[in-house]
Amino acid sequence: MSKQEVFITIVEGKKITKKTIKAEQKPIEKLPPKVKDKLDLVLEGIQDLSKKIDKLKKEKGG
Amino acid sequence: MAIEEQTFTVDAKGVGNPDFYRSQIPARTILAPNQKNWYAMYSMTIAAGSVVTVPCVTVPQHSRLYIGSGIICCDDLLNWQRVTWSIEIPGVVELEIGDVRYKVFENVIYPGAGVIVLESGYILSLDGYNLDPANSHGFSGQILGMMEEV
């Protein structure tokens, strides 16, 4: 664990406060799952739907 | 029909103001006397594969802070990044209320009835993630709100 400088500016009405603090920095223990682009998600959804439609067609003999 | 040339005489009091300043007010605050705009900006560099916890604000005694929106941006053009924010009610609970994945920039808005209200003593903090496993990056977060004396 280390400390990282954070530069802060706060404006409240006409009052401006500037300061620097030391914030806690640590390695990410577990990376979250990779985010897919929205288009990829839409395409996956369409593919899943296509597969379901094909499956239904086969079941109905069409 | 010809448009007549008009001239205006601006007295010393009006110098620097729009010519129509006596009758028009271009911007009028909608805040009450016990309310003030509240803006905060946080800038930092986060090491590769690290997360920084920033204590943003502890609401002072006899005050209430309304959060209307937040902005996060970073100089990483390639990777998705992440920021989460939490509210701590000391001695009661710490609750994560937001988690956003973004590339370069994101704006989160809490409009109308959805505005976040922080009472006296509440603590708002941000966790800024740098999900680039190889490079450190610069990050900047902004919070826009209103502080009210109660």
pLDDT at B19 over 60: no
Give the whole-angstrom CA distance, residue B59 versus residue B124. 8
Say whether B52 and A21 touch across the interface (CB within 8 A). Answer: no
Chain B residues touching A31 at Cβ < 8 A = 49, 131, 133
Least confident of A47-61, B10-24, B71-85: B10-24
Give the whole-angstrom CA distance, residue B66 versus residue B148. 8
User: How many angstroms separate the CA of residue B48 from the nearest CA in chain A?
Assistant: 8
User: Does ipTM top 0.90?
Assistant: no
User: How many angstroms separate the CA of residue B39 from the nearest CA in chain A?
Assistant: 5
Say whether B55 and A21 touch across the interface (CB within 8 A). Answer: yes
Say whether B80 and A34 touch across the interface (CB within 8 A). Answer: yes
pLDDT at B75 over 60: yes
**With bands split at pLDDT 50, 70 and 90, how would you rate the model's confidence at A29?**
confident
Residues B130, B136: contact at Cβ < 8 Å?
Answer: yes
Compute the count of residue pairs across chains A and B with CB atoms less than 8 Å apart.
71
User: Quick one: three-class SS letters along chain B?
Assistant: CCCCCCCCCCCHHHCCCCCCCCCCCCCCCCCCCCEEEEEEEEEEEECCCEEEEEEEEECCCCEEEEEEEEEEEECCCCCCEEEEEEEEECCCEEEEEEEEEEECEEEEECCHHHCEEECCCCEEEEEEECCCCCCCEEEEEEEEEEEEEC
pLDDT at B27 over 70: no
Least confident of A9-13, B18-22, B75-79, B136-140: B18-22
Chain B residues touching A2 at Cβ < 8 A = 47
Query: What is the mean predicted confidence (pLDDT) over B69-98?
Result: 91
Residues B48, A26: contact at Cβ < 8 Å?
Answer: no
Q: Which residues pair with B64 in a beta bridge?
A: B148
Say whether B37 and A11 touch across the interface (CB within 8 A). Answer: yes
**With bands split at pLDDT 50, 70 and 90, how would you rate the model's confidence at A30?**
confident
Query: What is the mean predicted confidence (pLDDT) over B58-83?
Result: 94
**With bands split at pLDDT 50, 70 and 90, how would you rate the model's confidence at A36?**
low
Say whether A6 and B38 touch across the interface (CB within 8 A). Answer: no
Residues B139, B43: contact at Cβ < 8 Å?
Answer: yes
Residue found by looking up tokens 């271009």 in the block: B26
User: How many angstroms separate the CA of residue B116 from the nearest CA in chain A?
Assistant: 17
Mean pLDDT taken over chain B: 86
Give the pLDDT score at A10: 95
Say whether A23 and B52 touch across the interface (CB within 8 A). Answer: yes
